[in-house]
C-alpha cells in the first residue's frame, strides 16, 4: 500500500478518496488493513471448507485402517465408475440444457425495454426464491404416472411416459433449479455487448445471422463459460433433487456418498467418492482452461493475420 | 479445531468472533449440562410404565427417532408423560442416523440418550456403538418372547408386507409367487431401494420355492437372482413417505412397504389391501449409545416407554403394533387390518430372524446396493 511520493496523480487520487470518506463520515477513517477485512471470510472458509476437505482426504486413506483399500474398492467395482460417470453426464446435460434454454431468454432480456426486462427478471427469480422441497414435490405431482403432464399427453394419444424416478425426472428438476445461474451471467455478459457493433457490421454488409454469430456470440462468450461452469459444478453435488425425483437404481454420487456413510458407516469409502469427484471436477476444469487458452491463442493468431 | 478457533477469537475483531461462535455452535451441537452425580430411581423391582416421581429433576435428555407421525406418537404416548412424571427435560431430535450415532460415540460427545433405530443394525452394534441395557431398571417381563436382547428392547412391531391395488386386479395377488408373476399380474411393483431389510429377500426365496421354515440363513444371491426376473417392473422408494405417496398416487400397482405406511395410505383413501401371507414381522428398537451421558436416566425412559398404557396409546396414535403382551389398543377398522398382533394376522406372518439379520445386515446391504445401482 505504499504510494510513491513521486506520483502526484495517484497521490491526488488517494487524498481525494480518503478526504471524501473522512468528510462524509465526519470522523477519521478506520485504518484497517485490507487483509484484516478478509479474515472473517478466511476463517469461515478454513473452518467450513478447508478443514472438512482435509479431514475427508485423510479419512479416505485412514478409515477404517490406514492404506489404499478404499481407493482399491472404488477402482475394482464397475458400479462405482457407473455412478461417477452418470453424475458427470447428468451435470453436463444440465449445463447444456440450461444453456439452450437460457441463451435466447437472456438475449430477449437484453433487447427488450426496461419494463418487460424487469418482468422477465422476476420470472427467472421467482422459482429461485421458492423452497427447493416445494419445487421438487410440485414436479412429482406434475410428472408422476397419473400426473398432469401424462394426463395432457394422454389427451394427445401419447404416453404414459415414465418421467420421474429416473434420470429424466432428475434433469427436469435440476434444470429448473439451475436455470437462474445460467440466465444471470448470460444476461450480465450480453448486456455489456455494445449492440451498435452489430449495426456497424450490418452497415459493412453482414447479414443479421452473420453479425450475430461473428460479433455478438463471441462477445457474449464469457457469460456462456461462467454460466456453464456455475451450473455444471453445482449440478455435480445435487442431493435433494435426485433423491426425490430420481431412483436408487440411477443414483448420483451425493446419494451414493450418503448411503456409504450413513447406511454402511463407510466413512472411508464415502470420502474416497468425494475426493474422486473433486479430482475429476478439477481435471475437467483444467482441461477447459487449457482449451480456452488454446482457442484464444488461435483467435489471436487469426487476428494477427488479418 | 474448535480449541484453536476459540483462542484466535480472543485476539481478532468482532466479525471473527462471530464466525467462530457460529462454527462452534455448528460443531458442538448442544452438549447439555454435565451429568448429575447420582440418580435415585427408588427401590424395589422395576415395573414397566412407571418412574419415581421427580427422580430426574434437572436432568436434560434427548430422544432421537424417525420423525413424522411415528415420533409424534412416541412423544405423546410415552416421552412427554415420562418427562412430566420424572422431572427430566426431554428433547425430541431426529431423524435418527447411524452415522450421527457413530460420530457422537467416537467424539465422546453423546447427545442422544435414547435412540429409536433398526433392529438389524442394533443387533450388529451391541457392545460397539450401543451399550448393554440394565435389566434391573428395565422391566421386560411383558415383552413378547424373543424381541428383547442385551442391547435393545422393541419400540414397536410392524411388518414388511405386500399390498396391491384393488382397482387394478380383480383376481387379487395374495402370495409371494403372485408378486413375482408379471405375466398373470402385470404392473409396477415398488420396493425399498436405498436400504436392505427383512421382507423382499424372504419373499423372493419363498417365491423361488424355499419353505418358510428353511429360509434362514438367507441365500441372498438366490434372492437377487429371483429379483432379476422382475427387475423391469420394479420402482424403488427411499423413504416411508415416498412409499406412501406412491400408493396414494397409484404409481405402483403392488408394493412391499412398511405396514404403518400402507395404513397411512389406506386411511387417505388409497385403494390398497394387504396380502398378509406375505407379511414378515420386523421391529424398531430402543437402544442407548455407548458413553451416553446418563445411562440410568436412559434406562428409566425405556422402562417407562414399555408400559401397557403407553404401548396402547402408541398404537392408537401410529397404527404400529404394541410390544406389551397385555396391550389392548382401540383402533378403527383400517387400523385392525394392519395390526400384526391381531390373531388372524399373527398366524399368517413370518417373524424375521433378528439374530441372522443382525449379523449379516452390512453384507446384505452392500450386495443389494450393488444390485440396485
- Quick one: closest CA in B to A42, which residue? B16
What pLDDT sits at residue B15?
43
Cβ contact, residue pair B194, A259, below 8 Å:
yes
Question: For chains A and B, what is the number of CB pairs under 8 angstroms?
Answer: 84
Least confident range from A220-229, A283-292, B229-238: namely: A283-292
**In terms of DSSP H, where are the helices of chain B?**
2-11, 14-28, 68-74, 80-86, 98-106, 119-124, 176-179, 200-207, 220-228, 240-248, 259-267, 295-305, 308-318, 333-337, 343-346, 354-372
Check residue A288 and give its pLDDT.
85
Neighbours of A91 (CB within 10 A): 24
Phi–psi pair at A104, nearest 5 degrees: -65, -35
- A252 to chain B: nearest residue by CA? B373
Cα nearest neighbour of B17 on chain A: A40
Contact status, residue B358 vs residue B214, Cβ threshold 8 Å: no
- Our CA-based measurement puts residue A250 at a distance from the nearest CA of chain B, in whole angstroms, of 6
Kindly determine whether residue B23 and residue A256, on different chains, have CB atoms separated by under 8 Å. no
- Interchain contact, A264 vs B366, CB within 8 Å: yes
List of residues 6+ apart from B164 with CB closer than 8 A: B172, B173, B253, B254, B272, B273, B275
Cβ distance of B5 and A39 shorter than 8 Å = no
In the structure, what pLDDT confidence band is assigned to residue B20 with cuts at 50, 70 and 90? very low
Tell me the pLDDT tens digit for each residue of A217-252: 999 999 999 999 999 999 999 999 999 999 999 999
Mean model confidence pLDDT for chain A? 86
Span B322-335, pLDDT tens digits: 999 999 999 999 89
Give pLDDT, residue A28.
61
State the best of B197, B251, B367 to mutate against chain A, taking most chain A CBs within 10 Å.
Answer: B251
With beta carbons under 8 A apart, name residues in chain B contacting A47: 1, 5, 19-20, 23
Dump pLDDT digits (tens) for B31-68. 444 444 478 888 888 999 999 999 999 999 999 999 88
Q: Which of A40, A59, A76 to mutate to test the interface with B (most CBs of B within 10 A)?
A: A40
Residue A30's pLDDT band (cuts 50, 70, 90)? low
What chain A residue is nearest to B246 in terms of C-alpha separation? A144
The predicted-structure confidence for A42-62, as pLDDT tens digits, reads as follows 999 999 999 999 999 999 999
Per-residue pLDDT for B142 more than 60?
A: yes
> What is the residue extent of each domain of chain A?
71-250
Residue of A83, A145, A262 lying closest to B98 (CB–CB): A262
Q: Which CATH superfamily is domain A71-250 in?
A: MetI-like (1.10.3720.10)
pLDDT at B130: 97
Bigger pLDDT: A129 vs B167: B167
Smallest CA-to-CA distance from B203 within B230, B184, B183 is with: B230
Q: Which CATH architecture has domain B157-282+343-372?
A: 3-Layer(aba) Sandwich (3.40)
Residues 6+ apart with CB under 8 A from A17: none
Instruction: Report which DSSP code applies to B244.
Output: H
Position A293 confidence tier, pLDDT thresholds 50, 70, 90: confident
Amino acid at each position: 500500500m505504499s504510494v510513491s511520493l513521486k506520483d502526484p496523480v495517484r497521490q491526488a487520487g488517494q487524498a481525494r478518496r480518503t478526504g471524501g470518506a473522512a468528510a462524509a463520515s465526519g470522523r477519521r477513517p478506520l485504518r484497517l488493513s485490507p487483509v484484516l477485512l478478509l479474515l472473517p471470510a478466511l476463517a469461515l472458509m478454513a473452518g467450513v471448507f478447508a478443514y472438512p476437505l482435509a479431514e475427508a482426504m485423510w479419512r479416505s486413506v485412514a478409515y477404517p485402517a490406514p492404506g489404499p483399500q478404499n481407493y482399491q474398492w472404488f477402482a475394482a467395482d464397475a458400479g462405482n465408475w457407473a455412478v461417477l460417470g452418470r453424475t458427470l453426464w447428468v451435470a453436463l446435460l444440465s449445463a447444456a440444457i440450461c444453456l439452450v434454454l437460457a441463451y435466447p431468454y437472456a438475449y430477449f432480456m437484453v433487447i427488450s425495454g426496461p419494463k418487460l426486462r424487469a418482468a422477465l427478471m422476476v420470472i427467472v427469480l421467482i422459482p429461485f426464491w421458492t423452497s427447493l422441497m416445494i419445487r421438487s414435490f410440485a414436479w412429482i405431482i406434475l410428472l408422476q404416472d397419473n400426473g398432469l403432464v401424462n394426463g395432457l399427453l394422454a389427451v394427445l394419444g401419447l404416453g404414459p411416459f415414465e418421467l420421474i424416478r429416473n434420470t429424466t425426472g432428475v434433469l427436469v428438476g435440476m434444470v429448473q433449479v439451475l436455470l437462474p445461474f445460467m440466465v444471470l451471467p448470460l444476461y450480465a455478459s450480453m448486456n455489456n455487448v455494445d449492440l451498435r457493433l452489430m449495426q456497424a457490421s450490418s452497415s459493412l454488409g453482414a447479414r443479421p445471422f452473420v453479425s450475430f454469430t461473428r460479433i455478438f456470440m463471441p462477445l457474449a462468450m464469457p457469460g456462456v463459460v461462467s454460466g456453464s461452469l456455475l451450473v455444471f459444478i453445482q449440478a455435480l453435488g445435487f442431493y435433494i433433487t435426485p433423491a426425490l425425483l430420481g431412483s436408487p437404481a440411477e443414483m448420483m454420487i451425493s446419494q451414493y456418498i450418503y448411503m456409504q456413510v450413513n447406511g454402511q458407516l463407510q466413512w472411508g469409502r464415502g470420502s474416497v467418492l468425494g475426493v474422486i469427484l473433486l479430482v475429476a471436477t478439477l481435471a475437467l476444469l483444467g482441461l477447459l482452461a487449457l482449451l480456452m487458452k488454446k482457442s484464444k491463442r488461435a483467435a489471436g493468431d487469426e487476428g494477427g493475420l488479418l | 479445531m474448535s480449541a484453536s478457533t476459540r483462542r484466535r477469537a480472543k485476539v481478532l475483531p468482532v466479525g471473527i468472533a462471530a464466525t467462530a461462535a457460529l462454527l462452534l455452535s455448528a460443531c458442538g451441537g448442544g452438549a447439555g449440562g454435565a451429568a448429575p452425580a447420582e440418580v435415585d430411581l427408588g427401590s424395589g423391582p422395576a415395573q414397566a410404565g412407571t418412574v419415581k416421581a421427580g427422580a430426574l429433576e434437572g436432568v436434560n435428555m434427548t430422544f432421537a427417532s424417525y420423525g413424522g407421525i411415528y415420533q409424534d406418537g412416541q412423544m405423546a404416548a410415552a416421552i412427554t408423560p415420562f418427562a412430566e412424571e420424572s422431572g427430566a427435560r426431554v428433547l425430541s431430535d431426529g431423524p435418527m442416523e447411524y452415522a450421527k450415532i457413530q460420530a457422537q460415540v467416537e467424539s465422546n460427545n453423546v447427545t442422544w440418550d435414547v435412540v429409536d433405530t433398526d433392529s438389524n443394525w442394533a443387533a450388529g452394534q451391541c457392545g460397539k456403538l450401543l451399550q448393554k441395557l440394565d435389566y434391573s431398571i428395565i422391566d421386560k417381563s411383558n415383552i413378547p418372547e424373543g424381541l428383547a436382547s442385551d442391547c435393545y428392547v422393541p419400540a414397536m412391531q410392524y411388518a414388511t408386507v405386500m399390498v396391491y391395488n384393488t382397482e387394478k386386479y380383480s383376481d387379487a395377488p395374495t402370495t409371494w409367487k403372485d408378486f413375482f408373476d408379471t405375466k398373470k399380474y402385470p404392473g409396477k411393483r415398488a420396493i425399498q431401494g436405498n436400504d436392505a431389510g427383512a421382507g423382499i429377500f424372504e419373499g423372493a426365496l419363498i417365491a423361488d420355492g424355499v419353505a418358510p421354515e428353511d429360509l434362514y440363513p438367507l441365500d441372498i444371491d438366490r434372492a437377487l437372482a429371483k429379483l432379476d426376473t422382475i427387475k423391469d417392473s420394479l420402482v424403488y422408494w427411499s423413504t416411508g413417505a415416498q412409499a406412501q405417496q406412491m400408493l396414494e398416487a397409484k404409481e405402483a400397482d403392488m408394493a412391499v412397504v412398511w405396514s404403518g405406511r400402507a395404513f397411512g395410505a389406506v386411511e387417505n383413501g388409497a385403494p390398497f389391501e394387504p396380502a398378509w401371507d406375505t407379511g414378515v414381522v420386523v421391529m424398531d428398537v430402543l437402544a442407548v449409545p455407548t458413553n451416553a451421558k446418563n445411562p440410568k436416566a436412559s434406562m428409566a425412559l425405556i422402562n417407562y416407554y414399555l408400559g401397557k398404557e403407553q404401548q396402547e396409546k402408541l398404537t392408537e396414535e401410529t397404527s404400529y403394533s404394541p410390544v406389551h403382551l397385555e396391550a389392548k389398543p382401540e383402533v378403527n377398522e383400517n387400523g385392525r387390518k394392519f395390526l400384526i398382533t391381531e390373531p388372524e394376522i399373527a398366524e399368517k406372518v413370518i417373524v424375521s430372524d433378528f439374530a441372522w439379520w443382525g449379523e449379516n445386515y452390512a453384507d446384505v446391504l452392500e450386495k443389494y446396493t450393488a444390485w440396485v445401482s
